[in-house]
Amino acid sequence: MIVWLAIICAGILTFAARFLTLSHLMPKTLPIWLQLAMKFVPVSVLTAIIVPAIFISPETGTLIIQDNLRIGAAIIAIIVAYYTRSTVATIISGLCVIWLLTFWQ
């Protein structure tokens, strides 16, 4: 039940973020620093999730650098993302590299 409540609460807050400035309740402009700061929200939140997903072991919760197959796969995916800007190519290349490396071992 709590899951549904969380989905609905996050849904309401997300809708509020989208609707707020379309409602007539908000001033037409926000402070410049706030507008600037909001531009960095996606890259900051998503990188905070990407980096530990590569470097932190899901089993032990510790940092792994050696024998970490995900580092190689992520580097390939970053290169593919940079040159192709394609979601499909990025996901598939990263997954293929990690599968290849796993079966190679």
Coil, helix or strand for 82?
helix
Q: Smallest distance from the beta carbon of 44 to other proteins, in angstroms?
A: 3
CA distance 94 to 75: 8
Shorter beta-carbon distance to other proteins: residue 39 or 67: 39
Q: Which of 60, 67, 82, 104 binds other proteins (CB under 8 A)?
A: 82
Does position 40 bind other proteins by CB under 8 A?
Answer: yes
Quick one: 56 exposed, middle or buried, by C-beta within 10 A (0-12, 13-18, 19+)?
Answer: middle
Q: Which residue from 105, 56, 97 is spatially nearest to 78, judged by alpha carbons?
A: 97
Rule CB under 8 A: which residues touch other proteins? 2-11, 13-15, 17-24, 28-30, 33, 35-56, 58, 61, 63, 70, 73-74, 77-78, 81-82, 85-88, 90-91, 94-95, 98-99, 102
